Amino acid sequence: MAAIQAENAASASATENAPTSSISVMVNDCSGKMGHAVAEAAVAAGLNLVPLAITGPKMGNSRVACGGVAVQIIGAEERDSVFDRVLNEYPNVIVVDYTLPAAVNSNAEYYISRGVPFVMGTTGGDRTKLIDTVKKAGTYAVIAPQMGKQVVAFQAAMDIMAQNFPGAFAGYTLKVTESHQSSKVDTSGTAKAIVEYFQKLGVKFNVDEIERVRDPSEQVRRMHVPEDYLGGHAFHTYKLLSPDGTVAFEFQHNVMGRSIYAQGTVDAVLFLAKKVREGADQKLYNMIDVLKEGSMR
């Protein structure tokens, strides 16, 4: 019995301490700003970046330098042959998706069809369908609208408050404002998630009431976004006001740049690779799962 326990302990230790260089990651699409940031963070963390990436149909045939790795960008019309090659050369690859909201569901379905574990960092799409599809398929995946570590911790705190104090803000009015770079076409998934917690806390508010600020001049004037970060930021404000107007609460998280999301995405890849190696019974995870396990560097 002691020998078996020692063997199991050694196996667990080997799994826990597997070198990052043994983990291969394919980033679709690293020609975009977010995907590029993730690819560079992956290389910096010692992961093996696959030198191939899929982009939109008829948009490929280019190369992008990511942390010293030349990645060939190939159009989606060739993805079957690309994945054939990737799975042959990198059989334990994990895919990271930072594409477009319109491609979320179809991309996830394709990764599932190829049996590839994936981290879905792209927001938007039909999230209910996405979760249901992954659950039914039993594919290992991390799906989260927010990859920033500290913002995820804030979400976890909101979740705890909502679970333990339901209705605590009943009667309060809520105003949610989110500002992102003008290229972000969808409403922030993080803002939507936070609204769900406020709903559990008794606030009557629908996600379609979230105010999106995308005009650069308004972002500078009203949201106080530094001009240097107009091309990449996430400023969120949640304001609560009591029924009689005498009590106010305000929650705010302002992120400039993309490094917080890139680092969190790499953490998600490391976490998922560990779960795959262990053959974990649970297959679908979110960033709170990553946070709870302490899988944050």
Fill in the DSSP letter of residue 38.
H
253 is catalytic: no
- DSSP for residue 210: P
Our answer to whether residue 180 is catalytic in this structure is: yes
Q: What are phi and psi of 238, to 5 degrees?
A: -120, 115
Question: Residue 65 CB: number of other CB atoms within 10 A?
Answer: 12
Question: Catalytic one among 180, 192, 233, 275?
Answer: 180
Residue 133, helix vs strand vs coil: helix
Distance CA 86, CA 81 (A): 9
Nearest to 149 by CA among 264, 255, 34, 233: 264
In whole angstroms, give the CA distance from residue 50 to residue 291. Answer: 26
Give the rounded distance of the alpha carbon of 267 from its chain centre.
Answer: 10
- Residue 10 CA to its chain's centroid (Å): 32
Q: What angle do CA 179, 181, 187 make, to 5 degrees?
A: 55
The SS3 call for residue 253 is strand
Contacts of 8 (CB under 8 A, 6+ apart): none
Alpha helices, H only, 17-148 = 33-44, 79-89, 104-113, 127-137
Out of 136, 175, 184, 283, the active site residue is 184
In the sheet with 173-180, reading across from the earlier edge strand, the strands are: 211-213, 173-180, 233-241, 248-256
Question: Catalytic positions, please?
Answer: 180, 184
